[in-house]
Amino acid sequence: MVSQMNDSFGKILVLTQMALGGLLASCASTQTSASSKALANNPQQALAARTQSDALLRAGLPLARLDAEADQACASIPAAEQNVCPVQRTTVLGARELRTPLDPKGYLTSSAGAVVYLLAAPGLTSEWLGHLVECYQARTAEAGNALQARESCPLAEPESSYAISSTRNGFAVSIRSPHSEAAKRIFEVSQRLAPSNTPAPTALLVRR
């Protein structure tokens, strides 16, 4: 009698577990289907989600970590200003090309980037300008739109580096890239930001 009761109880437990598993699977399927349907009805949302996912996969970073790093980089900067190219926050006085030598004597050179000269503005310090650059680059990486942003901002170029120094009437932002094509684009975009009546810039030879 005890053996039969144990067998019956075991069968009931197995059937209950199977039913519960089926219910959970059905709920998960319903949620996935609803999410897919929502994206299908909103192509722009689907494209944005896919672009962001692709960017995260390329960077090898989870979404939560990337969000946290961007939020930290943008501390105290209003949300509406976080995607503004930092060198466009004040007047661009001019730009000069940076070139690096390809031979020991410097006879052959290649583009290394550009120096963008900015006019001083109230409340704008070299430290705050650097903070703006870090925030802008973090948000650009988070959105996965660096390739589009680089057409209008020299600081959006992937794998580029920057340095900020003070000048007599403002700042000099040096932007470099190890890739010659990217370095040329940095200079070209920087030139477009400068006033059209700026004198022709002289290339500045720098050694790595």
| pLDDT tens figures, 161-179 | 999 999 999 999 999 999 9
What pLDDT was estimated at residue 130?
Answer: 96
Its domain, for residue 31, covers 1-41
| pLDDT tens figures, 87-144 | 999 999 999 999 988 887 767 889 999 999 999 999 999 999 999 999 999 988 888 7
H-assigned helices in the chain: 2-41, 43-59, 63-73, 126-143, 146-149, 180-193
Supply the pTM of this predicted model.
0.62
My answer on whether 91 and 184 are in the same domain is yes
What pLDDT was estimated at residue 169?
Answer: 95
My answer on whether 176 and 88 are in the same domain is yes
Residue 54 belongs to some domain of the structure: no
My answer on whether 32 and 101 are in the same domain is no
My answer on whether 187 and 84 are in the same domain is yes
Hey, what are 20's tokens? 């519960």
| pLDDT tens figures, 55-102 | 443 445 454 555 677 888 899 899 999 999 999 999 999 999 999 888
- Cα–Cα nearest to 170, from 132, 205, 124, 118: 118
My answer on whether 87 and 164 are in the same domain is yes
Q: Give the chain's mean pLDDT.
A: 73
Structural domain total, the chain: 2
Residue 46 belongs to some domain of the structure: no
What pLDDT was estimated at residue 190?
Answer: 95
